[in-house]
Amino acid sequence: MKITPWLRAIRVPFLTATIVPVALGAAVAWHDLGGFLWGRFWATMAGALLIHVGTNLLNEYADHVSGNDAANTTPTPFSGGSRVIQKGLIGPRAILLAAVASLALGGSVGVYLNLVTDGNVVLLLGAAGIFLAYSYNVRPLRLGYRGLGEPAVGIGFGPLPVAGAYYVQAGSLGPRVFLISLPIAVLIALVLLINGFPDHAADRAVGKNTLVVLLGKSRAVILYHALLAAVYFLFGILFLLRVLPPACLVVFASIPLAWRAYVVSRESHHTARELLPANAATIGLHALAGGLLSAGFILDRVV
């Protein structure tokens, strides 16, 4: 079995969507408590990544069944699926079985973490994550087809993993943790939103009503810019409320990358190839801002 097609199907570069929030939740917990449970951290990361992998594979299968990927004549490195099924590299049944196995393994890790922590918080958070993973592209809900894909991704890769990673370390959970996760949730929703522009024609052809399809490209890019600005507005509010420590001001070092995403998307949102730098910048912005936020919590604790 060749590993390269599977790495493409898993969409390894996009796994930062999980790594960033799990690392952030753990960093906030260490900041608050001063202690760190490395075994639980790696188990949390592994479980979350398995669920993410299962989600990606399930979406690959669902977009094949719906004809969405086949209808896409302008795939990019960031959108249009991995194409492994369309190119005959992996069969759809194998993709589906791997998706189910990954989700089951991720769920099993969640059950273990629930057993070693008090209450059923981890179980509830994990169940919510798997529910969103399944419901994003699969009937009956198919959230991604109803203009709810971006909010679902924001929740699934924002509050849920941040709160879960925090809870397995701290054994408690409060509103502050969810507030900290909000900018990260918006940033990952922006990744899905900007990646919807190249897929606009294919999505519309199969009735996949993403926000880009529902709003049209001209209005969708305005929403993208508004949410991009909202990320830094949220950071500002969290500083004013003292939810974020002063060291987290380092997150504003990500503004030049946000500006690049804004400029490119403003000028090139109608052209898939010319939009690629904005797609890349949005993914990079999520990783950079999330990494800087985690570093700020660590730095504040150390200093």
What are the angstrom distances between the C-alpha of 44 and each of 41, 166, 167, 188?
5, 10, 10, 19
DSSP-assigned letter for residue 157: T
What digits encode the pLDDT tens for the residues 46-82?
999 999 999 999 999 998 988 887 788 778 888 877 8
25 neighbors 163 (Cβ within 8 angstroms):
yes
Tell me, what's the pLDDT at 257? 98
The C-alpha atoms of residue 23 and residue 159 are separated, in whole angstroms, by 13
Tell me, what's the pLDDT at 1? 60
**CB burial readout 148-180, b (16+ within 10 A) else e:** bbbbbbbbbbbbbbbbbbbbbbbeebeebbbbb
CATH class of 3-302: mainly alpha
**Residue 209, helix vs strand vs coil:** strand
The model carries a pTM of: 0.95
* Residue extents of the structural domains in the chain: 3-302
Segments in the chain below pLDDT 70? 1
Tell me, what's the pLDDT at 303? 84
